[in-house]
Amino acid sequence: MRRDIPFADVAHSHRASIDFAPPSPRGSANTGARRTQAYPLAVSDNRAPVGAGPDVRQILGVNVAALSGPQAVALIVDQVTRRQGGMFAFCNAHTANLANSRADLREALRHATVFNDGIGVDLASRLLYGASFPENLNGTDLTPALLDALPAGTPVFLLGSRPGVAQDAATVLEQRHGITVVGTQHGYFTPHDEPLLLQQIAASGAALVIVAMGNPWQELWAARNHEALAAPILCVGAFLDFAAGRVSRAPVTVRNLRLEWAYRLLQEPRRLASRYLLGNATFLAAVLRQRSARQVIAGPVPGPRGWTEPTGE
């Protein structure tokens, strides 16, 4: 059962079991079932090690791991089940543009394992490294696959979006994926609230924190706070809005053509025109400059808070 813990009640809350007790019935015969057939990136319960470390490709100063969907899911599941903190994020053309112009975002992403998102960074990989990424690992598809792969009843905290969105998303995600949402908080909190928010998350017993506050705010928040939490943080952009039904996704055919960005542009032209039209041109020009300057040496893979080899246990 979901527990929305007010800041004032943090001291009275208790930690959830590390053993992830199965969720209580929700009146549905399918409650807690793994729905891997609905998500192409889902993996089975046989979580074998994914290798000693990923191929890392630097794109406009961001080190992006070249992993398949099952490898990425297995990596996060392993850190969740071992209660190992860390930070995971996604890099699309917009993220790379921001990181190229903001030193604070570049530094924040150095704390994270970063997955590729979208056709723009895939094109950049081909231009800079002569190879595509293994899969498109956008957060909107990878996150449901991850939730399906977690042990039933895994405690998850949802942070971000407008007031009410996280609560609505929690109901949907519990029913679809068999997780237990142990707390929610909208993304419109003040810096003064942050210490109490961290207490709230810790007291909830969450084994995974899903943060949906948009670039660069979610990555900056995660970089500041991931070491204070015994749970990995996954930065997911608009995922909670999609899960709550506040924003509709593109039809599957459009997604398969990798044109979801165009569908979203048609939905919100005023907000997204600059990001997708001017932004894509800016991104391509910067990638070509990087290629010309041969600035394609990837930095080190993140340390203990980033990539670690799953145990397979």
Predicted confidence at residue 262, as pLDDT, reads: 78
Task: Give the integer Cα–Cα distance in Å for 73 and 270.
Answer: 34
Residue that has been written with the tokens 């992830």 in this structure: 20
Predicted confidence at residue 17, as pLDDT, reads: 32
Predicted confidence at residue 275, as pLDDT, reads: 78
**Longest alpha-carbon distance in the chain:** 60
Which residues are paired to 184 by β-bridges?
158
Predicted confidence at residue 130, as pLDDT, reads: 94
- pLDDT at 135 > cutoff 60: yes
Amino acid (one-letter) located at 220: L
pLDDT tens profile 36-51 = 333 333 232 223 333 4
pLDDT tens profile 177-229 = 999 999 999 999 999 999 999 999 999 999 999 999 999 999 999 999 999 99
* Strands lying side by side in the sheet with 62-66: 55-59, 62-66, 113-116, 86-91, 232-235, 208-212, 155-160, 180-185
Predicted confidence at residue 227, as pLDDT, reads: 94
Confidence of residue 307 (pLDDT cuts 50, 70, 90): very low
- pLDDT at 311 > cutoff 90: no
Predicted confidence at residue 129, as pLDDT, reads: 94
pLDDT tens profile 257-306 = 777 777 777 877 887 777 777 889 999 999 999 999 875 444 444 443 44
Q: pTM score, two decimals?
A: 0.77
- pLDDT at 239 > cutoff 90: yes
Q: Pull the structure tokens for residue 275.
A: 């990001």
The better pLDDT of the pair 274, 114 is held by: 114
Predicted confidence at residue 53, as pLDDT, reads: 59
The better pLDDT of the pair 142, 313 is held by: 142
pLDDT tens profile 5-25 = 333 333 333 323 333 333 333
Mean pLDDT over 81-89 rounds to 93
Predicted confidence at residue 44, as pLDDT, reads: 27
Q: For all residues of the chain together, what is the average pLDDT?
A: 80
